[in-house]
Structure 1
């Protein structure tokens, strides 16, 4: 029988387009809950540490909101007493801050503030033809900030403190001592290939559609012991911060190569921990040792232990700043203050010399906290950087600061906004006695007024 015109037999059932679509939908419905419960990426260090620790700072629902929208946030009624509206610390200089409800005040400023700074290893350049061999081979570590590397603004910083209740619930046993607090840095990074694709998918499932894959770095918060320094190959090295050169502990070995690439740093990148035994002494406009009862000191802050910002002043100045499609509002976080107050008249803080934060009707702390208001904050171009995106505006608010806030005889042609402060303590005989507390809601009492003239370094 001739079978040339017969229809070939199929080896199995036919799957048309509708059937294939139904199959894909079934697989998606089946796999989606699995991906949600078990994202296709390994658990991060921050996920693991939450089993025994709690993250320092306010939850998103608890944050003031005032810090990111000065024009729309709640304002104190005119004539009301000035109070603390927000508190921020910046454990790593020039990286993202942590908003707090309350904070301990130490001689160095708010607890955990500016403990670390990034630095790059620089060579002297250009060199003369007659430069010595020692000069040609000399390198020095120099701190870096958003001024040179604006993407530092996007590096997330979190501090994790031991949580007794979690340790008991998980059966860990003995509770970790306070020295077992950890700092975790996170920055966006996606590897090439399949691993990067899986990380991208995992980030979306774990943290939402706008999330990006991240890389983490974990550091000890407490200053390491000599044994830990040897085991981790940390090194004491000199690092330059402005005109000061201090010896600090370089934890460079903890940094992945990807962080240097992300920030755009071409030199070697290190991260330095301030040594509590080698703090920088503060002079210039700060109170003397005789007046304060102790020698004022600081860590990796620019010059003074604390920075105060009056939101009324920010609003007044913001009205003078030319806005555009990039700079739509002037976010107070651009100025990286520790204590943000509201309720005072605009720029009234520039006449304060000594202030006291007192317990308020809704504050948990019942003691006062006293400060010497040392000088105005002379601004550089760092506020041009958007604290959320790391984008640096070409001119603003630096141009407006120089135009409208050239107000200090000691800093001609410079813009000023905010005040630098030095903590004062009732008991200063022992370092253990030198602490106080500040808390959101504390009223401000001005104890002494006077004029300020900035003294350059």
Structure 2
């Protein structure tokens, strides 16, 4: 009799389990559908594996700060950033203060290109018959004979730069409707500040004319997530160029870059890997609202959408974040298709203003 009771009990439990397995998803389905947008990030984190690996899908260099950049298949990553990146900038002809898209969206209509042999940087203006060619890697003698060394101001920081003459500056002054000078970074190192300051980074490192740090890395997966939100609001998707990153990786899970601490770029074994310290999230202004191909600035997007879900850094809660700022530990060739590995992660990123 006891054996019979046990068997009946087992059958009853099995029946209950089967019914529960069938009924619970049916009963909970409406709730799951409603809460899916909130549940998805958590489920993605559960899928995510430590030591994320992806690949480099694009490299972008912006020779002149706030002007149109160029895409390259390969280049050299130096401790101050990608070769030629933000080596030049435009400054006010009188005050020598730096100028950017923030004040003058039309700067995105100034194009940059390299000559076929790579020896010259060619500046042009969209829809205008203007071409100005200057050495891409000017020698000390060329700079002495063709430019003037002067003090410049980028944010509230003084640095130096070589100012070009009227033959270079005139077309751009006319186009922008104000007196401007093209400047090439001078010999005085512009030491990293904020999250990249020597006492935090553990070494003294410098850069040219980026806002703060040498390299900006972005994820296609995160851009895709942002675009899905924009499309859901009836807006058009945007390109990664809006954010002006240097290294774009495919990415596995949107926004997983938030916790990157140390990443590695590796290709051929004989070249050796290049490690990059990820020092901070990139807090965004409204530059991404400007469409680079037209210089038209959207009144609200993607700023409003980013503000709705990307105010994630306790150090700068009034701005949204997109992309990660890095400081390379070494130099070497980088190319599209290289493996990109996350070697270390942290939950302690906190933005510290570097200007």
Is 1:247 equivalent to 2:247 in the alignment?
no
* Alignment partners' CA distance in 2, 1:324 and 1:215: 39
Q: What residue is the counterpart of 1:129 in the other structure? A: none
Give the superposition deviation at 1:319.
Answer: 2.0
Of stretches 237-246 and 212-221 in structure 1, the one that deviates more from structure 2 is 212-221
The 2-side partners of 1:242 and 1:256 are apart by 22
Structure-1 separation of matches of 2:129 and 2:53: 43
Is the 1:86–1:100 Cα contact (8 Å) retained in structure 2? Answer: yes
CA contact (8 A) 1:108 1:298 kept: yes
Residues 90-109 of structure 1 show CA distances to partners (whole Å, capped at 9, x for unaligned) of 01111111111112111111
Say what the alpha-carbon RMSD is for the aligned residues: 2.4
The reply on whether 1:389 has 2:299 as its aligned counterpart is no
Counterparts of 1:330 and 1:424, CA distance in 2: 32
- Residues 184-333 of structure 1: matches in 2 within 5 Å? 184-188=122-126, 212-226=127-141, 228-229=142-143, 231-232=145-146, 234-263=147-176, 265-266=177-178, 268-275=179-186, 277-286=187-196, 288=198, 294-321=203-230, 328-333=236-241
Q: Deviation per CA, 1:297-326: give whole Å up to 9, x if none.
A: 11001100000001111111222236788x
Contact 1:307 1:418 in 2 (8 A): yes
Q: 1:388 to 1:323 in 2, by over 3 A?
A: farther
- Give yes or no for the alignment of 1:143 onto 2:93: no
Say if 2:284 is the partner of 1:346. no
Instruction: Choose which of 344, 351, 355 in structure 2 pairs with 1:454.
Output: 351
Does the CA contact (< 8 Å) of 1:406 and 1:414 recur in 2?
Answer: yes
The TM-score, its normalising length taken from structure 1, stands at 0.62
- Secondary structure of the structure 2 residue equivalent to 1:402: helix
Runs of at least 5 residues in structure 2 that lack an aligned partner in the other structure: 1-47
1:367 aligned to which of 272, 291, 295: 272
Structure-2 change in CA distance of 1:376 and 1:365 (3 Å): farther
- Write 1 or 2 for the structure with the bigger share of strand: 2
Gaps of 5+ in 1: 1-77, 122-138, 164-180, 189-211, 426-434
Cα distance in 2 for partners of 1:399, 1:300 equals 28
Q: Deviations over 1:140-198 (max 9, x none)?
A: 211111111112112110122648xxxxxxxxxxxxxxxxx21110114xxxxxxxxxx
Checking the alignment, whether the CA contact within 8 Å between 1:252 and 1:269 is kept in structure 2 is no
Equivalent-residue separation in structure 2 for 1:148 and 1:162 (angstroms): 34
1:157–1:185 CA contact under 8 A, matched in 2: yes
**Matched-pair contact (CA < 8 Å) for 1:323–1:329:** no
For residue 222 of structure 2, give the secondary structure of its aligned residue in structure 1: helix
Matched, 1:438 2:334: yes
Note if contact 2:217-2:323 (Cα within 8 Å) is conserved in structure 1.
yes
How many Å apart are 1:241 and its aligned residue?
Answer: 0.9
Larger Rg: 1
- Matched length: 304
